[in-house]
C-alpha cells in the first residue's frame, strides 16, 4: 500500500519515489544544492569569523564592552578629562553589572618615549595588571621578559614592534614624558620589563604599559583615572539590545556624576556600521549564489515534468485536480531541497568543525590583514542567522522557482498529453 | 465534490446524453472537424462500442463523454451533470467519483506497484484504509493478478498492465467505464480475456462500459455498436 497517512502523506511518498526514478538527474540537482548551501554556510562562517576577529581585536584593543569616561575624553584625550573618584563610581555601578563582569581602571594619555637615540610618540597606559586578564590583550602572557607587577615603580611593558623600532631590548631604560593636569611637562624613567604581542603591529607600536599608581603619581592626579572599562563575561555575543539596555541603566545611575557610559558599538561606530550591513551583504550574496543554482533547479524540474507529461494527463483524467498536481511537484522539489540542505549542512559542519578547526592562517597576507584590522588566523564562526539564512534562501527561493515547472505540470490537460504522445 | 454540479432535468436510466455535439481542432492553419452534430444517449449498464476508422471522431467523443474536453457546441450530460455548466475542478471531481478510464497504453504510474496503482484512486476519494485494502485485494484477485499485487508496471506484461488499468477503473464502482482502444496493444488471446473480464464486470456490477475501438473483437463483445464516420454517427446497432 502507498505509505503515509492522508493525502499529504501519499503525495510525499509518491514524490520521494519520483525523485529516484532518475537517480542521476536527482543526484545532479542534489549536488548543486549541496555545493550551494554548504559553500554559503562555510564561506559565511569564515566571513563572520573574520568580522568577529576584527571586532574582538578592536574590543580587546583597550576598548572593552562598556566604558565609563568623561564625555569629552573621546574628543580631547587629555588627563584633565579624568574621573577623579573612580572607586565611588565603580561601587555605584558594580551592583548593576552581571556576575562574572570584569572591571579595569586605566589612565591613557599621549606621551613621548625616548631613548638615547630615538623619540617616539606613544600612548602611555597606566594599568593594574591584575585587572586586565579577560579585559584586554595586555592581560595575556607577555611575549618576552615579564609583566609589570602591581604598583611596580619603574617597570614598563611595550610592544615587540616598538622595541624593534627603537632598537632596544628588555632591561634597557627609557624615559616617558607627558603633561600633567596643569599642562606641565612631566617625565620619568622606566626599565623595559617585557614585551607583548598584539594582533596588529600598529597596536604594538602605540601602547606602552606602566603601573597605574605610578602613572597617577607621575601625572599628579591622585586616584584619578581616565576610563573605567567593563567587560561582560558573555563576551560580544548576545549583545545588541541587552548591552544597550545595560548602558542606559548605567547612564541613568551615573547621570549626576558628569561621566558617561558607552558600549563598544558607540565607541567603534565604523565597525558597528559594518556589522549592521554584514547580514545584508550575506543575504545578497546568498541570493546571488542561489540564482545560479535556481536556473539548474528550474531546468531540471522542467525536464522531469515534460518527461512525465503523460502521467500528469492520466492523473487529471482520473480526477485529480490541477492544484493537487502542482502540490505533488512542489512536494518533490521540497523533498529535494530538504534532503540537499540536510546533506549540505552536514558537509558544512564537518568542514567548519573538523577541517577548519584550527582556522586559516593568513600570515602570508600580513600587510592586507593589518590594513583591515583582521586577525592573523581566521577562525570560522558559524552563526544561527547565517545557517538559517543560507538554508532559508535556498528553500524559499527554491520553492518559488519550482512553482514554474509545478504550475506547468498542473496546466497539462489529459487531451493535450494524449495528443502529444 | 460532484454534488456541487448543476443538474438538469431527469434522464431516467440514460447515464450519458450527447446532444448535437460538435468539436473542431485547429493545428496551425489546418482546421479539422472531429465531431459534427453528434447526438447519442447511452443507458445505464450498456456495453457499447464506438466504432469507426481512424479520424472518425470516436476518441474525441469518448473524451467529451469523460469530461476530459468540452465541445465547441452542443451539450454532454453524464448522470444528470451537464459539463458545460461545470468548472474544471468540478469535472475533475465528477471523473473521480463517477467515471473509470482505461487507456490504450495502460497509463499506470510507474513508481507505484499494481496494488498501489489501484489504491491510488481510492486514496484520492479518501476511502478509509481497511476498506481500501480489502477492495484492492478483491479487485486484483478478480482480474487474475493474485500474485502480482506488489509488482511494478515494468515487471508486468502488457496484458497484466491493462488488467491493472481495468482494476483501477472499476475499483471505485464508477457509473461509467470509458475504454479507449483497450486491446490495441494486446495480442488477440490476451485481448479476448480482457474483454471477457470486462463483460463479466458489466454483467455483475451493472457498470456501463463505453469503448472507442476499431477492433472487431471488441465489436463482437459489444451489445451495442455506434459507428462513426467523419465525425458523424453513421450507424447505431443494438445486438439482441
Residue ranges with strand state E in A180-306:
185-196, 207-211, 227-231, 260-263
Give me the residue from B97, B124, B133 closest to A1, CB to CB.
Answer: B133
B111 and chain A in contact, CB less than 8 A: yes
Per-residue pLDDT of chain B (240 residues; tens, 9 = 90+): 443 333 343 444 889 999 999 999 887 888 889 999 999 999 999 999 999 998 899 999 999 999 999 999 999 999 999 999 999 899 999 999 999 999 887 678 889 999 999 999 999 898 999 999 999 999 898 888 989 999 999 999 988 998 899 899 989 889 999 999 888 877 888 888 888 888 988 888 888 999 999 888 999 999 999 999 999 999 999 887
**Which DSSP string corresponds to A26-73?**
HHHHHHHHHHHHHHHHHHHHHHHHHHHHHHHHHHHTTT-SEEEE-TTT
Q: Which residues have C-beta within 8 Å of that of residue B46, sequence separation ≥ 6? A: B15, B208, B209, B210, B223, B224
Cα→Cα distances A21→A307, A404, B139, B209, Å? 11, 21, 28, 34
Could you give the 3-state DSSP secondary structure of residue A328?
Answer: helix
The pLDDT averaged over each successive group of 10 residues in chain A (421 residues) is 63 86 88 90 88 81 89 87 90 85 93 92 95 88 93 92 93 94 92 90 92 94 93 58 80 88 88 82 85 84 86 88 90 92 93 82 63 68 86 89 90 78 48
Interfacial B residues in 176-215 facing A (CB < 8 Å): none
B2 and chain A in contact, CB less than 8 A: no
Question: Alpha-carbon distance A216 to A213, whole Å?
Answer: 5
B160 DSSP β-pair partners? none
Do residues B150 and B119 make contact, with C-beta atoms less than 8 angstroms apart? no
Give me the residue from B63, B88, B120 closest to A2, CB to CB.
Answer: B120
Residue ranges with strand state E in A309-399:
360-361, 377-378
A335 and chain B in contact, CB less than 8 A: no
| Residue-level pLDDT at A297 | 83
Q: Which residues have C-beta within 8 Å of that of residue B31, sequence separation ≥ 6? A: B24, B25
Could you give the 3-state DSSP secondary structure of residue A362?
Answer: coil
Interfacial B residues in 4-33 facing A (CB < 8 Å): none
* Interface pTM, i.e. ipTM: 0.84
CB contact under 8 A, A1 and B116: yes
| Residue-level pLDDT at B9 | 39
Q: Measured between CA atoms, how close is A285 to chain B, in angstroms?
A: 39
Q: Measured between CA atoms, how close is A6 to chain B, in angstroms?
A: 8
Interfacial A residues in 8-37 facing B (CB < 8 Å): 10, 14, 17-18, 21
Which residue's C-alpha cell is 553589572? Answer: A97
Contacts of B66 in chain A (CB under 8 A): 317
Cα end-to-end span (Å), chain A: 29
Cell numbers describing residue A396: 524559499
How would you list the strands of the sheet with B176-180, edge to edge? B99-102, B176-180, B208-213, B47-51, B224-229, B232-238
| Residue-level pLDDT at A238 | 43
CB contact under 8 A, A319 and B66: no
Number of H helices, E strands in chain B: 7, 10
CB contact under 8 A, A2 and B101: no
B99 and chain A in contact, CB less than 8 A: yes
CB contact under 8 A, A14 and B111: yes
CB contact under 8 A, A319 and B121: yes
User: Quick one: CA dihedral A264, A269, A271, A275, positive or negative?
Assistant: positive
Which of A1, A16, A309 would best serve as a mutation to test chain B binding (most B beta carbons within 10 A)?
Answer: A1
| Residue-level pLDDT at A12 | 83
Helices B88-98 and A322-350, axial angle in degrees (round to 10): 90
A310 and chain B in contact, CB less than 8 A: yes
CB contact under 8 A, A2 and B92: no
CB contact under 8 A, B109 and A1: no
| Residue-level pLDDT at B131 | 93
CB contact under 8 A, B110 and A415: no
Contacts of B109 in chain A (CB under 8 A): 14, 311, 314-315
CB contact under 8 A, B95 and A318: yes
CB contact under 8 A, A314 and B121: no
Cα dihedral value A183, A189, A195, A196, nearest 10: -20
Per residue in B8-64, pLDDT (tens digit) is 434 448 899 999 999 998 878 888 899 999 999 999 999 999 999 988 999 999 999
A7 and chain B in contact, CB less than 8 A: yes
CB contact under 8 A, A319 and B68: no
Do residues A205 and A161 make contact, with C-beta atoms less than 8 angstroms apart? yes
A418 and chain B in contact, CB less than 8 A: yes
CATH of domain B44-68+87-238: 3.40.50.300
Full-model pTM = 0.72
Question: Alpha-carbon distance A414 to B70, whole Å?
Answer: 12
**Which DSSP string corresponds to A389-402?**
HHHHHHHHHHHHHH
A252 and chain B in contact, CB less than 8 A: no
Cell numbers describing residue A255: 547621570
| Residue-level pLDDT at A128 | 94
Q: Measured between CA atoms, how close is A356 to chain B, in angstroms?
A: 42
| Residue-level pLDDT at B14 | 87
A310, closest residue in chain B (CA to CA): B107
Give the Cβ contact number of residue B63 at 10 Å: 26
Question: Alpha-carbon distance B120 to A174, whole Å?
Answer: 91
CB contact under 8 A, B66 and A317: yes
CB contact under 8 A, A320 and B92: yes
Amino acid at each position: 500500500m502507498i505509505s503515509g497517512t492522508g493525502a499529504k502523506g501519499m503525495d510525499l511518498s509518491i514524490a520521494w519515489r519520483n525523485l529516484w526514478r532518475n537517480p542521476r538527474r536527482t543526484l545532479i540537482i542534489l549536488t548543486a544544492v549541496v555545493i550551494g548551501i554548504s559553500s554559503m554556510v562555510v564561506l559565511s562562517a569564515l566571513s563572520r569569523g573574520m568580522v568577529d576577529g576584527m571586532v574582538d581585536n578592536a574590543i580587546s584593543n583597550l576598548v572593552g564592552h562598556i566604558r565609563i569616561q568623561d564625555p569629552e575624553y573621546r574628543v580631547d584625550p587629555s588627563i584633565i578629562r579624568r574621573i577623579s573618584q573612580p572607586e565611588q563610581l565603580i561601587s555605584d555601578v558594580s551592583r548593576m553589572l552581571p556576575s562574572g563582569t570584569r572591571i579595569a581602571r586605566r589612565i591613557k594619555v599621549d606621551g613621548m618615549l625616548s631613548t638615547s637615540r630615538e623619540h617616539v610618540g606613544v600612548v602611555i597606559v597606566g594599568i593594574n595588571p591584575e585587572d586586565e586578564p579577560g579585559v584586554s590583550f595586555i592581560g595575556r602572557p607577555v611575549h618576552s621578559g615579564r609583566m609589570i607587577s602591581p604598583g611596580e615603580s619603574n617597570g614598563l611593558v611595550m610592544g615587540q614592534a616598538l622595541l624593534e623600532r627603537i632598537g632596544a631590548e628588555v632591561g634597557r631604560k627609557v624615559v616617558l614624558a607627558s603633561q600633567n593636569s596643569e599642562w606641565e611637562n612631566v617625565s620619568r624613567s622606566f626599565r623595559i620589563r617585557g614585551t607583548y604581542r598584539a594582533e596588529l603591529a600598529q597596536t604594538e607600536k602605540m601602547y606602552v604599559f606602566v603601573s597605574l599608581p605610578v602613572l597617577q603619581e607621575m601625572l599628579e592626579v591622585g586616584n584619578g583615572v581616565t576610563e573605567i572599562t567593563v567587560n561582560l563575561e558573555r563576551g560580544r555575543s548576545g549583545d545588541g539590545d541587552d548591552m544597550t539596555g545595560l548602558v542606559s541603566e548605567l547612564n541613568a545611575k551615573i547621570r549626576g556624576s558628569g561621566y558617561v557610559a558607552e558600549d563598544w558599538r558607540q565607541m567603534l561606530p565604523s565597525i558597528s556600521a559594518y556589522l549592521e550591513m554584514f547580514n545584508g551583504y550575506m543575504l545578497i550574496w546568498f541570493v546571488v549564489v542561489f540564482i545560479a543554482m535556481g536556473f539548474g533547479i528550474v531546468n531540471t524540474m522542467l525536464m522531469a515534468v515534460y518527461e512525465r507529461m503523460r502521467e500528469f494527463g492520466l492523473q487529471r483524467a482520473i480526477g485529480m485536480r490541477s492544484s493537487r498536481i502542482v502540490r505533488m511537484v512542489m512536494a518533490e522539489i521540497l523533498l529535494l531541497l530538504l534532503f540537499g540542505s540536510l546533506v549540505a549542512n552536514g558537509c558544512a559542519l564537518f568542514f567548519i568543525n573538523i577541517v577548519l578547526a584550527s582556522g586559516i592562517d593568513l600570515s602570508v597576507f600580513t600587510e592586507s590583514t593589518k590594513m583591515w584590522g583582521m586577525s592573523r588566523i581566521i577562525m570560522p564562526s558559524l552563526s544561527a542567522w547565517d545557517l538559517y539564512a543560507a538554508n532559508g534562501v535556498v528553500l524559499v527561493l527554491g520553492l518559488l522557482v519550482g512553482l514554474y515547472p509545478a504550475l506547468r505540470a498542473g496546466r497539462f490537460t489529459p487531451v493535450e498529453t494524449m495528443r502529444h504522445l | 465534490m460532484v454534488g456541487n454540479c448543476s443538474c438538469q432535468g431527469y434522464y431516467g436510466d440514460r447515464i450519458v446524453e450527447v446532444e448535437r455535439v460538435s468539436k473542431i481542432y485547429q493545428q496551425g492553419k489546418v482546421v479539422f472537424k472531429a465531431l459534427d452534430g453528434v447526438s447519442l444517449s447511452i443507458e445505464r449498464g450498456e456495453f457499447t462500442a464506438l466504432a469507426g476508422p481512424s479520424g472518425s471522431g470516436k476518441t474525441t467523443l469518448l473524451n467529451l463523454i469523460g469530461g476530459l474536453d468540452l465541445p465547441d457546441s452542443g451539450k454532454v450530460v453524464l448522470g444528470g451533470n451537464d459539463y458545460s455548466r461545470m468548472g474544471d475542478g468540478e469535472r475533475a471531481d465528477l471523473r473521480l467519483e463517477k467515471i473509470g478510464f482505461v487507456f490504450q497504453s495502460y497509463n499506470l504510474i510507474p513508481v507505484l506497484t499494481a496494488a498501489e496503482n489501484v489504491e491510488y484512486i481510492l486514496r484520492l476519494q479518501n476511502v478509509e484504509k481497511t476498506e481500501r485494502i480489502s477492495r484492492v485485494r478483491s479487485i486484483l484477485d478478480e482480474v487474475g493478478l493474485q500474485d502480482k499485487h506488489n509488482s511494478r508496471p515494468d515487471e508486468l506484461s502488457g496484458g497484466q498492465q491493462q488488467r491493472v488499468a481495468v482494476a483501477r477503473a472499476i475499483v471505485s464502482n464508477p457509473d461509467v467505464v470509458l475504454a479507449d482502444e483497450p486491446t490495441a496493444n494486446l495480442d488477440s488471446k490476451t485481448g479476448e480475456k480482457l474483454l471477457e473480464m470486462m463483460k463479466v464486470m458489466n454483467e455483475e456490477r451493472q457498470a456501463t462500459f463505453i469503448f472507442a475501438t476499431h477492433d472487431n473483437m471488441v465489436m463482437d463483445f459489444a451489445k451495442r455498436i455506434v459507428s462513426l464516420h467523419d465525425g458523424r454517427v453513421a450507424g447505431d446497432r443494438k445486438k439482441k
